[in-house]
A and B are shown apart, each in its own frame.
Chain A
Amino acid sequence: MNRRLQVFRSSPPREPDLAIDVAATLQILEGFIKTEVSRTGLNRVVLVLSGGIDSALAAYLAVRALGRSGVVGVLMPYRTSSASSVADAESVVGALGIVAERFEISELVDVFAAKAGAIGPRRLGNVMARVRMLVLYDRSVEHDALVLGTSNKTELLLGYGTIHGDLASALNPLGDLYKTQVRELSQALSIPKAILAKPPSADLWPEQTDESDLGVTYDEVDRILALLVDARVSPGTIVAKGFRRETVLRVQRLIMRSQFKRRMPLIAKVSTRSIGWDFRYPRDWKT
């Protein structure tokens, strides 16, 4: 053996790679909000402030992009919404110094629920999400503002949202950020600590949490999604990396089953130039 020969160990790139450059990502997102709002001829956005981390981050980004006069927050508690959600939403309003409105949705939801009969918590949750959408789009007209979406990539991929409810928006700065990346950016922007610390929840009924609904932690599911979606690694290989087979397959199933929520409705083609297939223009058409 030649003793002068040394073996050099190398470290190949590690997957999944959820790390992001915070400064550059913030710059892209701010530029996105600023440019996309101004090209519509408006200079303001309106968004739901739920008290959660996603809407808090969206509000912080919007203020960086448009200034505080360019952001209207709407708090829309239901009578079962947790008091801390409202307090956390108010802390965002206070920290940013933005205009905020409070619109209680209990009456509207309850009237609907009474007419609809026994609809159960799941349907009631969807009704709440859609009533909030209704209010938000109405307020957007009042304020000459665009509706800013707050759904992150994890929720969008898993279909963890209400179509035509919280998934509805004009612009979504968070849609390509996994929940763990939302947390990282939120920390960097010094979003109120209570919001960073609490377990994520849709707050549609007491004690609800995202992670118990989904049956998996965001840390785990984000790493699975980054492998499955971004790196296009096969489920078998992901399992070999140490993830539970059952979880990986369930995540894959959720993505496929919720595809309809990420696309416009299907149109039956009966002409030569059909919207979606042949008629294809950018949304930023001539702007």
Chain B
Amino acid sequence: MQTVRVALAQIAPKLGDLESNLDLHNDAIRLARREKARVVVFPELSLTGYVLRDQVQDVALTLRDPRFKKLLRASKDADLIVGFVEEAEGHRFHNATAYLSKGRVVHVHRKLYLPTYGMFDEGRDFAAGDVIRAFKTAHGPAGMLICEDAWHPATAWILVQDGAEVLFTLSSGPTRGAKPGRGITSIPIWHELLRTTAQFQTSFVVYVNRVGYEDGLNFGGGSIAIDPFGRTLASLPSLTAGVAVAELDHEVLRRARSAYPLLRDENLELVHREVSRIRQARFQLPDPSPRRRIR
């Protein structure tokens, strides 16, 4: 990768209002450009808001939608990572994020794990993605995750095995109260998870969480950029909208991957073999190599 300045745009989107959210994106992009950022990262569902429910179909965009074109135009000055509802083939509606650069869509990630428990009901409203890939950007290989995806450690692991050096994580994370000594409890929990991910995967992690209120839920913010040693490069306060810029230094990545050669020593073959064995037993699949079965 090359050293790159990344802006974390911690915004409060307007629920179900694409037009005003496009304006909000443009404001943040202008601010980020002034801070010399080359990539601007927005939160999960940044173009639509989170508690959409039956509005999902109303705010969904295909990648050819003219409203998407506005963002593509803006991506000529800086790369953009935005959250939106993607209407995909077969009229499947995905909670998705797109990496836009130089007027084109470089990569789309569809949220893999849709939380459908407690206060969450995404499984009712969205189709789950079933592909996870790293992709190349002008600044280096990267991967994207959306909120709950990051709580399944295999996702980050696969992205890094696939070449990613920066993991962008977009979130609309509602808070669950505040405790003495810890503040808003969800934020340190997220930071621990992200720091551990950065260290386990010796990668940069850029986390952007939204703020604002929807139907009584409040979104915590606390966006943060972490280097592969687990150090904080930039962060935003909780509950407050704003933009922060982090410089991801390729030299630091190289040093981290030299000091902790976890990626070098990863045993893909071992993981593949054991996962295949577990999968075979779990789903009662025929044994592909009975003679080589390990007893």
Interface residues of A (CB under 8 A from B): 17, 19-25, 27-28, 31-32, 35-36, 176, 279-287
A99 to B17, CA, bound (A): 36
Residues in B with CB closer than 8 Å to A285 are 15-16, 55
A282 is contacted by which of B51, B177, B182, B212 (Cβ under 8 Å)? B51
A24 is contacted by which of B52, B183, B213 (Cβ under 8 Å)? B183
Any A CB within 8 A of the CB of B239: yes
Give 19 new A-B contacts, CB below 8 A, not counting A283-B215, A286-B17, A287-B15.
A17-B179, A19-B179, A19-B180, A21-B178, A23-B178, A27-B239, A28-B175, A28-B239, A31-B213, A31-B218, A32-B213, A280-B54, A281-B53, A282-B15, A282-B16, A282-B55, A284-B213, A285-B55, A287-B14
The smallest beta-carbon distance between A165 and chain B, in angstroms, is: 21
Residues in B with CB closer than 8 Å to A22 are 180
B218 is contacted by which of A20, A32, A279, A283 (Cβ under 8 Å)? A32
Any A CB within 8 A of the CB of B184: yes
A280 to B183, CA, bound (A): 33
A285 to B51, CA, bound (A): 9
Residues in B with CB closer than 8 Å to A23 are 178, 183
> Are A281 and B177 in contact, CB atoms less than 8 angstroms apart?
no
Any A CB within 8 A of the CB of B214: yes
> Are A282 and B214 in contact, CB atoms less than 8 angstroms apart?
yes
Any A CB within 8 A of the CB of B90: no
Interface residues of B (CB under 8 A from A): 14-17, 51-55, 175, 177-184, 212-216, 218, 238-239
> Are A25 and B54 in contact, CB atoms less than 8 angstroms apart?
no
29 interchain pairs (CB within 8 A)?
Answer: A19-B179, A20-B177, A20-B179, A21-B182, A21-B183, A21-B184, A24-B178, A24-B183, A24-B238, A25-B177, A25-B178, A27-B239, A28-B175, A28-B239, A31-B213, A32-B216, A280-B53, A281-B53, A282-B16, A282-B52, A282-B53, A282-B214, A283-B215, A284-B51, A284-B215, A285-B15, A285-B55, A286-B16, A287-B17
> Are A281 and B54 in contact, CB atoms less than 8 angstroms apart?
yes
B52's closest neighbor in chain A, by CB?
A282
A28 to B212, CA, bound (A): 10
The smallest beta-carbon distance between A281 and chain B, in angstroms, is: 5
The smallest beta-carbon distance between A18 and chain B, in angstroms, is: 10
Residues in B with CB closer than 8 Å to A17 are 179
Residues in A with CB closer than 8 Å to B213 are 31-32, 35-36, 284
A179 to B137, CA, bound (A): 53
Residues in A with CB closer than 8 Å to B178 are 20-21, 23-25, 28
Residues in A with CB closer than 8 Å to B15 are 282, 284-287
Residues in B with CB closer than 8 Å to A36 are 213
Residues in B with CB closer than 8 Å to A35 are 212-213
> Are B175 and A21 in contact, CB atoms less than 8 angstroms apart?
no
A20 is contacted by which of B14, B52, B180 (Cβ under 8 Å)? B180
Residues in B with CB closer than 8 Å to A281 are 53-55
A190 to B17, CA, bound (A): 40
A21 to B180, CA, bound (A): 4
The smallest beta-carbon distance between A271 and chain B, in angstroms, is: 15
> Are A21 and B53 in contact, CB atoms less than 8 angstroms apart?
no
The smallest beta-carbon distance between B9 and chain A, in angstroms, is: 19
Residues in B with CB closer than 8 Å to A31 are 213, 218, 239
Q: Which 5 pairs from chain A and chain B are nearest by CB?
A: A24-B178, A21-B178, A282-B51, A286-B16, A35-B213
Residues in A with CB closer than 8 Å to B175 are 28
Residues in B with CB closer than 8 Å to A28 are 175, 178, 184, 218, 239
A47 to B213, CA, bound (A): 22
A22 to B177, CA, bound (A): 10
Residues in B with CB closer than 8 Å to A284 are 15, 51, 213-215
Residues in A with CB closer than 8 Å to B14 are 286-287
A23 to B213, CA, bound (A): 18
A239 to B53, CA, bound (A): 40
B212's closest neighbor in chain A, by CB?
A35
Residues in A with CB closer than 8 Å to B214 are 282, 284
The smallest beta-carbon distance between B57 and chain A, in angstroms, is: 12
A285 to B214, CA, bound (A): 9
> Are B54 and A279 in contact, CB atoms less than 8 angstroms apart?
yes
Residues in B with CB closer than 8 Å to A283 are 215
Residues in B with CB closer than 8 Å to A25 are 177-178
> Are A282 and B215 in contact, CB atoms less than 8 angstroms apart?
yes
The smallest beta-carbon distance between B99 and chain A, in angstroms, is: 28
